[in-house]
């Protein structure tokens, strides 16, 4: 999910967005009104298996975009043009 879709048909009517942690996912995942954000920042450092796929994910909810950084990549990855650029 490169950009959060504020008009997503997957959001359950009547429920506000719920932000979920402690379930590590490699990239942002949305299930109805639940957005899974934990991309395993602590696992982006050796000796964890597959450490290169994990990162710190920060979400800018008002702008519906994200920023990602990890120990394995010297660049910060942005999902779209945002206030950070």
**What's the CA gap between 3 and 81, in Å, rounded?**
11
Q: Give residue 4's pLDDT.
A: 52
Global pTM reads 0.64
Q: Spell out the SS3 assignment of 27-47.
A: CCEEECCEEECCCCHHHHCCC
Residue 85 has pLDDT above 70, yes or no: no
Average pLDDT over residues 41-64: 84
Task: Assign 29 a pLDDT band (cuts: 50, 70, 90).
Answer: confident
Q: Give residue 15's pLDDT.
A: 80
pLDDT higher at 64 or 44: 44
């Amino acid at each position: 999910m490169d950009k959060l879709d504020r008009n997503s048909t997957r959001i359950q009517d009547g429920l506000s967005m719920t932000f979920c942690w402690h379930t590590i996912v490699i990239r942002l995942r949305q299930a109805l009104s639940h957005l899974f954000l934990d991309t395993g920042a602590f696992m982006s450092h050796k000796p964890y298996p597959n450490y290169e796929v994990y990162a710190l994910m920060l979400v800018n909810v008002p702008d519906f975009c994200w920023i990602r950084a990890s120990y394995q990549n010297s660049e910060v990855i942005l999902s779209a043009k945002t206030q950070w650029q």
